[in-house]
Chains A and B, each alone.
Chain A
Amino acid sequence: GESVGLHLPTLSVQEGDNSIINCAYSNSASDYFIWYKQESGKGPQFIIDIRSNMDKRQGQRVTVLLNKTVKHLSLQIAATQPGDSAVYFCAENNFNKFYFGSGTKLNVKP
């Protein structure tokens, strides 16, 4: 099956700094990707998405970059805030369902 993995299990950043969370995927046929944020005791929450015909998409304080050549996604969070502390997952959409990686825990230090 598809494999979506992450380079770092835990990332600690200082409040106000930018955060970069990375993700590798294995299915070159995947054409749609989403980054989710999951806080403790809650379900995954949509952050930002990108289709395979794009290489960059920006949202409010977040940017997703897609490199199809090396099958790599990244999530950039600008001016990281304490409320950004959570586990972040990338997921690839394939035939109506999502395949998730194991997540990166983001710790924001005050």
Chain B
Amino acid sequence: DTGVSQNPRHKITKRGQNVTFRCDPISEHNRLYWYRQTLGQGPEFLTYFQNEAQLEKSRLLSDRFSAERPKGSFSTLEIQRTEQGDSAMYLCASSFRGEALGYTFGSGTRLTVV
């Protein structure tokens, strides 16, 4: 499978717990993006990386959220002290040098905080 891979597909956690999601982009893509999507809404930009550098973070990315891409390949998104409002689909996308045509989304990780 040469698409964008996200794991896990589903995560149920208790409020206050930490969770970590992983995204494996398309191998030749140097840009990686994280989005959050709540039910009935379009995806909202969270942050993006070019190689290992995190170039931009949205105001939506509170201090409890941290993203890394240590070797410029896969990325992790961690949410600390989860809240019920964090329940959403977390989508990863990758592209080559920001070229929109090759902008490919993964299937997402659905987080439910109970």
Please pick, from B42, B91, B104, the residue contacting A102 in the complex, using a CB distance under 8 A.
Answer: B42
The answer to whether A101 and B31 touch (CB under 8 A), given A43-B4, A96-B98, is no
Which residues does chain A contribute within 8 Å of B45, judged by CB atoms? 97-99
List the 9 shortest-distance A-B pairs measured between CB atoms, nearest first.
A100-B42, A43-B105, A97-B45, A96-B98, A89-B42, A44-B105, A43-B107, A100-B43, A102-B41
Question: What's the least CB distance linking A9 to chain B, in Å?
Answer: 8
Within 1-54 of B, Cβ neighbours of A (below 8 Å) are at 4, 31, 33, 40-45, 48
Please pick, from A4, A43, A97, the residue contacting B108 in the complex, using a CB distance under 8 A.
Answer: A43
Bound-state CA distance A22–B27 (Å) is 35
Within 35-68 of A, Cβ neighbours of B (below 8 Å) are at 41-46, 49
Among B31, B42, B105, residue most surrounded by chain A Cβ atoms (within 10 Å): B42
Interface size on B, residues (CB 8 A): 23
Residues of chain B having any CB pair with chain A under 8 Å: 4, 31, 33, 40-45, 48, 55-56, 91, 93, 98, 100-101, 103-108
Residues of chain A having any CB pair with chain B under 8 Å: 4, 32, 34, 41-46, 49, 89, 91, 93, 96-103
Which residues does chain A contribute within 8 Å of B107, judged by CB atoms? 41-43
Bound-state CA distance A32–B101 (Å) is 11
B91 close to A46 (CB less than 8 A): no
Bound-state CA distance A41–B39 (Å) is 11
For the A-B complex with A44-B43, A49-B101, A98-B103 known, give 13 more contacts whose Cβ atoms are closer than 8 Å: A4-B42, A34-B100, A43-B4, A43-B105, A43-B108, A46-B101, A46-B103, A46-B104, A96-B98, A97-B48, A100-B43, A102-B41, A103-B40
A101 close to B42 (CB less than 8 A): yes
Which residues does chain A contribute within 8 Å of B55, judged by CB atoms? 96
Which residues does chain B contribute within 8 Å of A91, judged by CB atoms? 42
Main secondary structure of the interface of A (DSSP, over half): strand
Which residues does chain A contribute within 8 Å of B33, judged by CB atoms? 97
Which residues does chain B contribute within 8 Å of A4, judged by CB atoms? 42
Question: What's the least CB distance linking B111 to chain A, in Å?
Answer: 14
A93 close to B100 (CB less than 8 A): yes
